[in-house]
Structure 1
């Protein structure tokens, strides 16, 4: 990868870009020498987006408009050519490798954060004690919530998966509270749905302690009394990659199992029934 491509990659990292804006960013990274001389119309055509999308992209990066971004690209190209050395190999050359390495970085950060187990063990105790246990995940976070709920149901007597928004969602949260729930687990991933924040407000109003697995320690859905656990998401592809939050969810599940005295016996009963019914091929 050239110095110009590396600089472009660093410029885009840390910004919350929409899928359309990421397509524009990837188009620029693939054309680092050509990028500083493209008009907004030309860039829009290459990326397959509208010209206003290019303008919004530049503003999302903190520039007044596309002309200001293009001037900065030209400066970086000039400076990069002057500074680059013959042995400057740079990071991997394609977008897929960069996405994988970014996720590895997030997993390393998560591993370091889990050196202190106090918060995740507290989360496990809170979730283990809740009867029933509502698990919330809307839109992009529905997959993580569904995976957690699937496995949690093998060790917890009453798991209630909540992945559909609308007015019925508030009803289901309140019904869980009325049935004895004391906590709710929420998976919150970008772009954070307004409905998720509204649902968590209902949960807090019903007296539930909210445990949230999110992409950031300052996730917009978090409340001051919540137990928030965070792991970064990858933004190098058109759509977010959430390997670290998914693994964090499994770690929370492990902590919940540790806090459930009958978790192992439940698992053994499930395995026995699964074998009797021939559920699995292996």
Structure 2
């Protein structure tokens, strides 16, 4: 990924807000970054100039504009001019800083959302009682599923992370059900892998209760879930930032510990004794 230069100017925020929340491909994100990076003059660049700055083809710039709901790049450029004309420079920071600031805003919303813990506590009860506990996460969600699974295994006796695609995935789902699983955590993040949704549908036909961590209550995975735990993802860089979903995963794990405190404490103590005996850690 190329390095973005520092941008200081009041034009950055209006241009950035124009793309906020839009579901864009990585190529389209590069175009958006180029426009943010050159916010002060973005409204006066031709499609060819934008393509050159972003290192993409000119048709990609046209498709980018249409993905935002415009008839083409000229219509997007007119909107950019309306947003940035007369804007005075202001020390807002560079595009990287603004992306991180956006994550703090997402966490603030998550903070407010957690004022009511009904859904989190319901999800925790479903998951902590499932033996075994399958945790689904494909493509971009695989690292988060693995992160959750690593720590969940310290307090739950049988966690099975399902992060491999293909027919063996459904086999593992069937095996977990045969072993007694009755609930599954599904982490489904944009761009919403079709296979993730297919696995969730298959799980529901076998009687699984589905807890889903996803980016929005209107994501394709939300309508299939028994409990939805939404946490927004950052979309201001070429690839998504998953700070919010990771925080939600750890909140859910804490709630699982609270739902079965004796089990969690016993397993944590067993782990510490084993780790000490094996000299697992240096400190």
**TM-score bracket for the superposition, by shorter chain length:** over 0.9
The aligned counterpart of 1:6 is 13
Residue 282 of structure 2 corresponds to which residue in structure 1? 281
TM-score w.r.t. length of structure 2: 0.93
Return the alpha-carbon distance in structure 1 between the equivalents of residues 30 and 177 of structure 2.
43
Contact 1:174-1:202 at 8 Å conserved across structures: no
* Root mean square deviation, CA, Å: 1.4
Conserved? CA contact 1:183–1:208, under 8 Å: yes
Match of 1:60 among 67, 74, 81: 67
1:254 maps onto 2:254 in alignment: yes
The answer to whether the Cα contact below 8 Å between 2:70 and 2:76 also exists between their aligned partners in 1 is: yes
Q: SS of the residue aligned with 2:252?
A: helix
Distance 2:224 2:267 in 1: 35
Which has the larger displacement, 214-223 or 129-138?
Answer: 214-223
**Matched residues in 2 for 1:3 and 1:151: separation?**
43
Match of 1:77 in 2: 84
Gaps of 5+ in 2: 1-7
2 CA distance for matches of 1:105 and 1:95? Answer: 15
Are residues 1:43 and 2:50 paired? Answer: yes
Shift of 1:10: 1.0
TM (normalized to structure 1)?
0.94
Gaps of 5+ in 1: none
Partner of 2:104: 104
Aligned to 2:185: 185
How many aligned residue pairs are there? 275
Cα deviation for residue 224 of structure 1 reads: 4.8
Task: Give the Å deviation of 1:234.
Answer: 0.6
Mapped contact 1:209–1:226 kept (Cα < 8 A): yes
CA contact under 8 A between 1:232 and 1:245: conserved in structure 2? Answer: yes
Shift of 1:225: 4.9
- Match for residue 240 of structure 2? 240
Give the whole-Å Cα distance in 1 for the aligned partners of 2:209 and 2:244.
Answer: 23
Q: Distance in 1 between matches of 2:211 and 2:236?
A: 28
Contact 1:40 1:54 in 2 (8 A): yes
Q: CA deviation at 1:77?
A: 3.3
